[in-house]
Amino acid sequence: MIKKILLLAAFTFPILHLAFADEGMWMLTDLKKQNEVAMTELGLQISVDDIYNPNGISLKDAVVHFGSGCTGEVISAEGLVLTNHHCGYGSIAQLSSVDHDYLTNGYWAMNREQELPCKGLTITFIDQILDVTDYVKEQLKKDPDPNGVNYLSPKYLAIVAKRFATTENIKDKPGQVLELKAFYGGNKYYMFIKTTYSDIRFVGAPPSSIGKFGADTDNWMWPRHTGDFSMFRIYANSNGEPTPYSKSNIPLKVKKHLTISLDGYREGDFTFVMGFPGKNWRYMISDEVEERMQTVNFMRQHVRGVRQEALLQEMQKDPAVRIHYASKYASSANYWKNAIGMNEGLIRLKVLETKRAQQEQLLSRGRELKDSSYQKAFNQIRNIVQVRRPALYHQQAIQEALITGLDFMSIPNVSALMEALKSKDKVKINTATDSLKVAANGYFASVPFPEVERIVAKKMLQTYKEYIPADQRIGIFAIIDKRFKGNSDAFVDACFKYSIFGSKDNFDKFLRKPNLYKLGFDWMVLFKSSITEGLLQTAIAMAEANKNYDAAHKVWVKGMMDMKRSSGIPIYPDANSTLRLSYGRVLPYTPADGVVHKYYTTLSGVMQKEDPNNWEFVVPAKLKQLYQAKDFGRYAMSNGEMPVCFIVNTDNTGGNSGSPVFNAKGQLIGTGFDRNYEGLTGDIAFRPSSQRAAVVDIRYTLFIIDKFAGASHLIKELTISE
C-alpha cells in the first residue's frame, strides 16, 4: 500500500502542476468551465468571453487556418493576414522564378494591384464550434456498423454532419464547410462550421536572409534571430462571400481583427496562444513511444538526412534548382531535425519511465475499482504494437525512401491505356492516350530536373537496401538483382534512359506508336507498381494487427479522462488540427547545468551570427545599415535595443506555426514559429521546465515592414497600441 501511495504521489503531483500551469491544448468550448480561474490567477486581464464567445464576436474570429497546416491571424479590417515565412514558403516559391526570386530577395506589394494571387492557397475561419457528442452517439446506435468502425470514420462522420445540419436547419452558404471530428479516441465529438476563402493574395515577405535566417542550423533551436513572417490578404466578392480568383474581387471586410501592442513583455508575463496544432500523442502507452522512436523517427532521421545532403549540393549549384526544391527541402529538413531532437529528448527526460508510472497508476485504479477493462485494453495495445512493428518499420522505409524521397515516382497511371490497348478499340485507345498526354505534361512540369532526380534516386535506393534485408525488400529488387546484378544505380540509369517517363522525348516517341509490350515492361512503371504493392502488403499486415486498436485506445483514453477528473484535473484531447488555446508565461530556461537561456533576443545577436560565407547567416546590407544607425523608430525596447524573438512556455506543436501570441489584454505581441530542441518531446510528453515556443516579436515584424521594406502603407492599416 505504501508503494502504491508513493507511486501516486510521484505521478499525480507533477500532473497537477503541469495542468494548472500551462500544459494543455485546450478546447475553446471548455475554457469557461475548466480554465478561466487558472488563467486569471496567472494574469489574464480580459474575460474568457473576449477570447471565445459562441454568441458574439471574439478573438477567435481573427484566428484562421492558413492553408491546411499552419495558423494565421487577421491584423487589419481589410483582410490582411500575418503568418510565418515558412508557412507561406510554398506559395512564395510557386510565384518565384530566376528573374523574380521572391524567396531570396523578398517581395512587397506597394499597392493592391501588386498583390499576387496564390494558386491553391486557402484561408479558413471557424464560425461555430458545437458539442454534438449526444447526437453522434444516437446516430451510432441507429446506423448499421458491421465492422464497428463508424465512430472514427471520417466518411461516416461527414454523413452525420450533414444530417445534423439538416436537423438544426443550418443553412448552406458559399465557402461553408462542415467538419465533424472525434475527440478523446471517440469518447466525444465536436462539429466545426467553417468558411473557406480561396482568393488569397501574396502581400509581402522579407528576403530569406531575414525570414529564414539561421535556416537548418538554427531550426528547432534557441536562441533564435529569424524574422519568420509573411503577409497575405483575403479577397472576396462584393458581398464578402468566398469566390474563386477574379480581378473584380475586393479585400474582405472582416468582422474582427487584432490590436497590436508595442509595449512588449517582461519575464513572467502571462501569454496565451491560439492556433491549429496538427497532431500529438499524449495518450500513448510506453510501448507506442518506443515504437515511434524506432520506426517513424528512425527512418525520418536516417533517410531524410541522406536525401537532403544530395539535394542541397545540387541546389547550391543552380538557382533554378534551388527555387524548385526549396519548399520540399525545407519541409523535409523540418521534421528530420524534429525526429532527431525528439528521440534524444525522450531518452534524456526519461519519458518512457514517466509513461510506465502513468500506466501503472491507471491500472492500479482499475484494480481498486474492480474494473478489468483498462488492463484488457492495455494488454491489447501492447500486443498490437509488438505484432505490427516490423510492418510499420518497412512501411516507413518505403514511404521515406521511395515515395517522399522520389519525386519522379509521381508518374501518371497507365492502367487505362493498358486496358484500352488490350481491347484494341481505337476510340478507347485515343481517349486514353489523350488523357495520359495531359497527365504526362503535368508530370514533366513537376520534375524539370531529371538529373537531380537521378542523383537522389540512387542515394534513396541504396539507403532503402541498407535498412531492409534482401528477403524483405519490395519485388523490384529481385529484378535489380537478376537483370542488373544487384546494381541499383544501374537500374536508376535504365529508368531514365529507357522509360517512357524518363524524358519528354521518350514519352513523345511512345505516343507516336503506343504498345502494350512497352508499357508492361517499362522500368518506371514496374518500379511504381512494386512500391504500391509493397505499401499494400505492409498496410494489410498492419490492418490485421490494428483491427482492435481503436477500440482498446478508446477505453484507455476514457480511463485516463476519468482518472484525471476524479482528481480535479482539467482534461484536453490530443491535437487534431482543430482550433485550440494554450497559455503560459514568458520565461527563460536552463537546458543544461550552468546554462541559462534568456527569454528574448535582439538584433545585436543577428550581427553576432553573421557569416557572409554561409548562406544560412548572411545579413542584408540595409539591415546592417539600420542597425548601425540605431534607426529602429518606435519599435525599439525601452533600453534602445531592437527585439527579434522571445520564448513562452505554452503547449505548442506543428500546426501552431503562425499562431498569434497574445498578452494578458488580448493584444498581439508576436507570431509563434518554432519550438526549442529540448522541448521536442512535447508531442508525446509536455515538460514546462524545458519546453518553449519561439515567437517572432511583433515589433521586429513591424520594423522590417516599415524601416527595412519601406511598406509604411501596410503599417497604416493596422490597429496599434503604444
pLDDT (tens digit per residue) in 501-554: 999 999 999 999 999 999 999 999 999 999 999 999 999 999 988 989 999 999
- Give the pLDDT score at 3: 34
Domain boundary among 197, 223, 248: 197
The pLDDT of residue 22 is 64
Residue 384 cell numbers, joined: 498490437
Beta bridge partners of 273: 582, 661
Packing angle, helices 351-368 and 373-397, rounded to 10: 150
A 10 A CB-CB count for 156 gives 18
**Per-residue b or e along 66-90, where b marks 16 or more CB atoms closer than 10 Å to that residue's CB:** bbebbbbbbbbbbbbbbbbbbbbbb
Residue 270 lies in a domain: yes
Structural domain contains residue 566:
no
| pLDDT over threshold 50, residue 2 | no
Tell me which amino acid residue 214 is. Answer: G
C-alpha cell at 526: 514496374
Q: How many Å separate Cα 417 from the centre of its chain?
A: 37
pLDDT of residue 146: 85
What gap in Å lies between CA 563 and CA 461, rounded to an integer?
48
Q: What is the pLDDT, as a whole number, of residue 6?
A: 34
Same domain, 496 and 536: yes
- Measured CA to CA, the distance from residue 605 to residue 235 in angstroms comes to 38
Q: What is the CATH number of the domain that holds 717?
A: 2.40.10.120
Element (H, E) at 583: strand 580-585
CA 461 to chain centre: 27
Of the residues 546, 567, 600, the one at which a domain ends: 546
Q: Virtual CA dihedral for 468, 470, 474, 480, nearest 10 degrees?
A: 120
CA pseudo-torsion sign 149, 155, 157, 160: negative
Query: Given this model, what pLDDT does residue 689 score?
Result: 87
Q: Hey, what's the cell of 248?
A: 473584380
Specify if 560 maps to a domain: no
Q: In the predicted model, what is the mean pLDDT of residues 105-118?
A: 98
* Mean pLDDT score, 454-481: 98
Q: Report yes or no: 135 and 159 within 8 Å, Cβ to Cβ.
A: no
Query: What does the radius of gyration of the chain's CA atoms come to, in whole angstroms?
Result: 27
Residues 350 and 292 reside in one and the same domain: yes
- Best CA proximity match to 260, nearest among 701, 628, 580, 589: 701
Q: Which residues pair with 63 in a beta bridge?
A: 73
For the chain, how many structural domains are there in total? 3
Residues 340 and 479 both lie in one domain: yes
Stretch 332-340: mean pLDDT = 94
Write down how long the chain is.
722
Do 50 and 109 belong together in one domain?
A: yes
Instruction: Provide the grid cell at 336.
Output: 528530420
**23 — pLDDT class (breaks 50, 70, 90):** confident
466 and 340 together in one domain? yes
The cell for 409 is 515516382
pLDDT digits (tens, 9 = 90+) for 125-143: 999 999 999 999 999 999 9
Which residues does residue 178 pair with via DSSP β-bridges, in sequence order? 193
What is the grid cell recorded at 713?
502603407
Q: What is the pLDDT of residues 406-430, one digit of tens each?
A: 998 999 999 999 999 999 999 999 9
Which of 605, 701, 654 has its CA nearest to residue 342?
654
The pLDDT of residue 147 is: 82
**Range in 13-17, 638-642, 647-651 with the lowest mean pLDDT:** 13-17
**CA 658 to CA 698: how far, in whole Å?**
12
**Amino acid in the structure at residue 336:** W
- Please give the pLDDT value at position 12: 39
Q: What is the pLDDT of residue 430?
A: 95
CA distance 235 to 222: 37
Q: pLDDT of 663-713, one tens digit each?
A: 999 999 999 999 999 999 999 999 888 899 999 999 999 999 999 999 999
Amino acid, single-letter form, for residue 22: D
Buried b (16+ CB within 10 A) or exposed e, 521-554: ebbbbbbbbbbeebbebbeebbeebbeebbbbbb
3-state secondary structure of 132: coil
Position 557 in a domain: no
CB 399 within 8 A of CB 335: no
CB 186 within 8 A of CB 151: yes
Are residues 701 and 695 in contact, defined by beta-carbon separation less than 8 angstroms? no
Kindly state the cell numbers that stand for 582.
494554450
Q: What is the pLDDT of residue 5?
A: 33
Query: Do residues 267 and 389 both lie within one domain?
Result: no
Question: Could you tell me the pTM of the whole model?
Answer: 0.90
Give the phi and the psi of residue 2 in degrees, each rounded to 5: -60, -45
- One-letter identity of residue 428: K
Nearest to 523 by CA among 489, 484, 485, 496: 496
416 lies in some domain: no
In this structure, the answer to whether residues 267 and 306 fall within a common structural domain is no
The answer to whether residues 515 and 382 belong to one domain is yes
Longest pairwise C-alpha distance within the chain: 83
Catalytic residues: 86, 228, 657
The alpha carbon of residue 331 and the mean position of all alpha carbons in its chain are separated, in whole angstroms, by: 9
Return contacts of 234-238, CB within 8 angstroms, 24+ apart: 234/74, 234/79, 234/81, 234/123, 234/197, 234/199, 234/200, 235/79, 235/197, 235/199, 235/200, 235/201, 236/79, 236/197, 236/199
What are phi and psi for residue 243, nearest 5 degrees?
Answer: -160, 155
**CA angle 600–588–21, rounded 5-degree value:** 120
Residues 469 and 494 in one domain: yes
The residue assigned the cell 492558413 is 66
Nearest-angstrom CA–CA distance, 496 and 515: 19
Q: Is the separation of the CB atoms in 461 and 486 below 8 Å?
A: no
Three-class secondary structure of residue 361 per DSSP: helix
- Whose cell is 532527431? That residue is 340
Residue 468 lies in a domain: yes
Q: Rounded to an integer, what distance in angstroms lies between the CA atom of residue 60 and that of residue 257?
A: 10
Residue 165 lies in a domain: yes
| Domain span including residue 18 | 2-122+198-280+584-721
Rounded CA-CA distance 670/616 in Å is 23
C-alpha dihedral over 218, 654, 570, 562, to 10 degrees? -120
What is the rounded average pLDDT of the residues 10-17?
37
Give a yes or no: residue 441 inside a domain. no
Among 484, 510, 486, 506, CA closest to 496: 506
Statement to judge: residues 476 and 540 lie in one domain: yes
Cα(366)–Cα(681) distance, integer angstroms? 28
Average pLDDT over residues 380-393: 97
Say whether 250 sits in a helix, a strand or coil.
strand
Are 184 and 203 in a shared domain? no
Residues 318 and 399 in one domain: yes
Whether 479 contacts 495, CB under 8 Å: no
Quick one: three-class SS letters along 177-232? Answer: EEEEEEEHHHCEEEEEEEEEECEEEEEEECCHHHHCCCHHHHCCCCCCCCCCCEEE
Last residue in a domain, options 173, 197, 221:
197
Residue pointed to by grid coordinates 487584432: 258
Q: How far apart are CA 618 and CA 624, in angstroms?
A: 11
